[in-house]
Amino acid sequence: MTSSDDGGLGRNPGARARLMTWASGRRPTTLAARQSVVCASPHVVDAIHDRPAVHPDALVFAPIGSDANVRYSGALSEAGVELTIGDDFLLQTQGYAISEYVSVIGPTLIRLSDEEDLRALAEDGRAAYETGMFPEFLTNPIIQLADVPALGLRGPGSGPHDRLWVDEDGTVSVSPAGLPLGDLDTDVDSLHETWEAEGTAHGDPDAIGRSVPRDVVQTVGDGHPFLPRFVAALDGQRNLRARGVALPRVSGFGGFLRPELAQIPTEDPSPDAPFVMWSEDRHFLVSGDGSRVFEVSRTAAQAFETVIVHGDDHGAADDSLGVDAASTARRVLDESGLSAAAPRAVMS
């Protein structure tokens, strides 16, 4: 590769964003659907074209030496290794447990490389839920947590129609740490059916199945039921920090703008529900995927917070806010495409 070679980034605008979405397994509503395929070996690329597992318009990433859309050096599959594309893009990969102690100098992907990593993340989530204090390194705008569907955030961007990892032998999965779903000759709809069948109501524990056994992922999730909401909040915090907002507070984590809402301790919104976040003197309504941010008044933030906490229990929100204020908050959420999802039990 010559010094002027950009690895294909110039011909594929948005490839950086798609690579990070592929790694996370969560596609924001602001990014159109398109399958991203990352290959472990340049030799696999020749076998990809016209294979049933791959969409005709898929964006293919593969090591240098291939004719993939985007060509990289290094690796994405293991912690402690860097990936570079052309001369201008470098992505570091780190394990979770050490990331708090390692300085980052550019885009960094944090993987759950083993059970220790998973349990460390879960305990950080518990601390945030109880105290409101999120790990600062996780809210850094250049940080991305990998394979979040394993943590209860299965949705757009999670499955084979959005992301595939192709091993050197042609075996495919949704991520380097994911359990195999088939091979390149398995049509993508069948891959999706297998992925759906192996998943849970909200998660994909097999997305990190090569690193952490499925039963461990499920046990940790059952013991930390606030974990999906914690992980979902991180994208919004990164968005706000990128806009210059100091580390924001998140409603429901360590407290509420309206303290009386703490009297509903066993309910928490779906991870897809919007968030209310705030700093000292600014208040924000943030989409569940963190991609959209609206600055609002404190009074409006309190109304949104109340409606989000009560979810489908409109009567409770009406009683708490008054019918007019609650109805207005629900209407604004609906018109903004940020409807509050029904609550689900979190902690007894």
pLDDT digits 0-9 by tens, 113-124: 999 999 999 999
Of 287, 342, 209, 245, residue with least CA distance to 29:
287
Q: How confident is the model at residue 4 (pLDDT cuts 50, 70, 90)?
A: low
- Rank 28-32, 235-239, 263-267 by mean pLDDT and report only the highest: 235-239
pLDDT higher than 70, residue 221:
yes
| Residue 66 located in a structural domain | yes
Structural domain ending residue among the three candidates 164, 189, 223: 223
Regarding whether 216 and 108 lie in a shared domain, the answer is yes
φ/ψ region of 7 (left if φ > 0, alpha if ψ in -120 to 50, else beta) reads: left
Across the range 201-217, mean pLDDT stands at 94
Residue 176 sits in the same domain as residue 65: yes
In a domain, 241, yes or no: no
Please tell me the distance from the alpha carbon of residue 107 to that of residue 89, in angstroms, as a whole number: 9
The number of beta carbons lying within 10 Å of the beta carbon of residue 58 is 19
Whether 205 and 285 share a structural domain: no
Mean pLDDT for the stretch of residues 197-201: 87
Please give the angle made by the CA atoms of 102, 105 and 111, to the nearest 5 degrees.
55
Residues 206 and 252 in one domain: no
Among residues 223, 255, 271, the one where a domain terminates is 223
Residue owning tokens 């919007």:
274
Specify whether 203 is located in the same domain as 251.
no
Residues 290 and 207 in one domain: no
Do the Cβ atoms of 67 and 83 come closer than 8 Å? no
Q: What is the pLDDT of residues 72-128, one digit of tens each?
A: 999 988 888 899 999 889 999 999 998 888 878 889 999 999 999 999 999 999 999
Q: What is the mean pLDDT of the chain?
A: 91
Same domain, 109 and 201: yes
Residues 127 and 272 in one domain: no
What single DSSP character describes residue 320? H
Whether 2 maps to a domain, the answer reads no
* Domain that residue 20 falls in: 15-223
CA-to-CA distance for 59 and 62, rounded, in angstroms? 10
Model confidence at 29, pLDDT cuts 50, 70, 90, reads confident
User: Taking phi first (over 0 means left), then psi (-120 to 50 degrees means alpha), and beta for anything else, what does residue 14 get?
Assistant: left
Does some domain include residue 237?
no
Domain membership flag for residue 1:
no
- For 142-167, what is the mean pLDDT? 95
Expressed in percent and rounded to 5, the helix, strand and coil fractions of the chain are: 35, 20, 45
Number of folded domains in the chain? Answer: 2
Return the H-helix or E-strand segment holding 36: strand 36-39
- Amino acid letter, residue 72: Y
Examine the domain organization and report whether 88 and 126 are in the same domain. Answer: yes
